[in-house]
């Protein structure tokens, strides 16, 4: 939903972050004291102006039957059609597969190849084509495989008009879960896999996140956040268990001259279970993130100390209390608020009238803090500001 900002959001200073170049707040903007505050499992308020901005990515282009597309700007390219320098055999020798017309082709019986680089959680894009000339049947037809972390296989098979066991079709998490559909192009044409892979996370033998794999084949969902149950494989039923931190991407030599092109991946940000600081967190992690955010805001507040204008520091200190209580910050912000009220009360009526918007803004900030019990409902400076607003009729339209 795209709701216009209320007056408070428009009035509040949104450029304070610029003062903190490079820190959490460098790219932040947006309303403060606005949406519901952080809670036991959410370290950010709703619509939080301090929440880090998502990174900017220039999108790539989609592939056509004849031509591979371009990767997005932050992708790590594993094969761009020119050479196999990023690939090796299982023993570390140069990859013996052929590069032809911008594609790599399995040279049967030379063995599988794998990336020199190792990684784990990723968005993986890979395109493959089974031989145009159909030979063999079932698992013998256009068989290869994409092995995530060198372990679990997302099957590559010419499943176009080909019957085999369901958990061995193209798009299967091999031996574990069949694809939901077989949206294949005819043999010889390229198929596109877009895969989202999350490895299992264990701590002290306890599973924190079992890991999941999602696969789109030619834009059609074939694995829907399928829970990992070990590496899978031929005939044996595998069990869930920990994976290493990193592993290569491996491609299988199953004796068929399958072709691949346009292979790239994007590493994924950490999940809460492995130290990510956004999304639904454990109470312990949410509290830690809230404390860290509050500390950064308090450090920013200290740079805003200004005898002639206590408001920026006061507002920032109050903002820090939204994330975590702090007796010293509360004491100083309360004193600045009392000083602010005393200054207002000393102003001639005409001068005070010119501060209508400012007074209303600060009353709203204190009202937000009272609403969420960060300040007591009878916080004296708030009561004083409310009194001024009422006395001048500023609460009426």
Site residues, Mg ion (CB under 5 A): 143, 145, 252
In whole angstroms, how close is the CB of 156 to Mg ion at the nearest point? 6
Cβ closest to Mg ion, residue 143 vs residue 218: 143
Least separation, in Å, of the C-beta of 102 and Mg ion? Answer: 23
| Closest separation in Å from C-beta 28 to Mg ion | 47
> Residue 252 or 361: which CB sits closer to Mg ion?
252
Q: Please state the closest distance from residue 10 (CB atom) to Mg ion, in A.
A: 58
Nearest distance from C-beta of residue 81 to Mg ion, angstroms: 23
Q: Which of 174/368 has CB closer to Mg ion?
A: 174
Q: Which is nearer to Mg ion, 145 or 272 (CB)?
A: 145
Q: Report the residue number, 252 or 320, with the smaller CB distance to Mg ion.
A: 252
Q: How far is the CB of 170 from Mg ion (least distance, A)?
A: 9
Nearest-approach distance from CB 112 to Mg ion, in angstroms: 10
CB-based closest residue to Mg ion: 145
The 3-state secondary structure of the chain, one letter per residue: CCCCCCHHHHHCCCCHHHHHCCCCCCCCCCCCCCCCCCCCCCCCCCCCCCCCCCCCCCCCCCCCCCCCCCCCCCCEEEECCCCCCCEEECCCCECCCEEECCEEECCCCCCCEEECCCECCEEEEEEEECCCCCCCCHHHCCCEEEEECCCEEEEECCCCCCCCCHHHCCCCECCCECCCCCCCCCCCCCEEEEEEEECCEEECCEEEECCEEEEEECCEEEEEEEECCCCCCCCCCCCCCCCCCCECCEECCCCCCCEEEEEEEEECCCCHHHCCCCCCCCHHHHHHHHHHHHHHHHHHHHCCCCCCCCHHHHHHHHHHHHHCCCHHHHHHHHHHHHHHHHHHHHCCHHHHHCCHHHHHHHHHHHHHHHHCCCCCCCCHHHHHHHHHHHHCCCCCC
Q: Which is nearer to Mg ion, 218 or 252 (CB)?
A: 252
Nearer to Mg ion, 145 or 381 (CB): 145
């Amino acid at each position: 939903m795209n709701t216009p900002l209320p007056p408070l959001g428009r009035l509040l200073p949104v450029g304070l972050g610029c003062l903190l170049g490079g820190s959490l707040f460098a790219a932040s903007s947006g309303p403060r004291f606005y949406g519901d505050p952080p809670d036991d499992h959410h370290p950010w308020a709703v619509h939080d102006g301090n929440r880090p901005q998502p990174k900017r990515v220039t999108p790539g282009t989609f592939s056509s039957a004849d031509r591979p597309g371009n990767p997005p700007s932050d992708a790590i390219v594993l094969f761009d059609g020119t050479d196999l320098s990023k690939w090796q055999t299982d023993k570390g020798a140069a990859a013996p597969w052929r590069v032809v017309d911008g594609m790599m082709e399995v040279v049967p019986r030379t063995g599988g190849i794998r990336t020199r680089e190792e990684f784990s959680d990723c968005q993986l894009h890979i395109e493959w084509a089974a031989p145009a000339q159909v030979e063999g049947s079932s698992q013998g037809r256009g068989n290869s495989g994409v092995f995530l972390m060198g372990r679990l296989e997302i099957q590559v098979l010419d499943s176009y008009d080909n019957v085999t066991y369901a958990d061995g079709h193209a798009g299967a998490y091999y031996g574990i879960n069949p694809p939901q559909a077989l949206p294949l192009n005819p043999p010889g044409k390229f198929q596109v896999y877009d895969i989202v892979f999350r490895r299992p996370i264990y701590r002290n033998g306890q599973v924190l996140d079992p890991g999941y794999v999602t696969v789109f084949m030619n834009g059609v969902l074939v694995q829907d956040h399928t829970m990992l149950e070990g590496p899978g494989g031929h005939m044996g039923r595998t069990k869930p268990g920990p994976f290493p931190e990193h592993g290569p991407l491996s491609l299988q030599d199953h004796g068929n001259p399958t072709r691949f092109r346009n292979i790239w991946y994007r590493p994924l940000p950490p999940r809460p279970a492995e130290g990510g600081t956004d999304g639904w967190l454990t109470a312990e992690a949410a509290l830690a993130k809230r404390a860290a955010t509050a500390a950064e805001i308090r450090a920013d507040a200290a740079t805003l100390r200004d005898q002639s204008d206590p408001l920026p520091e006061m507002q920032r200190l109050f903002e820090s209390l939204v994330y975590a209580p702090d007796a010293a910050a509360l004491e100083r912000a309360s004193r600045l608020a009392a000083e602010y009220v005393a200054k207002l009360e000393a102003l001639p009526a005409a001068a005070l009238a010119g501060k209508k918007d400012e007074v209303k803004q600060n009353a709203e900030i204190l009202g937000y803090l009272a609403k969420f019990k960060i300040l007591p409902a009878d916080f004296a400076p708030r009561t004083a500001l409310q009194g001024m607003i009422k006395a001048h009729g500023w609460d009426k339209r």
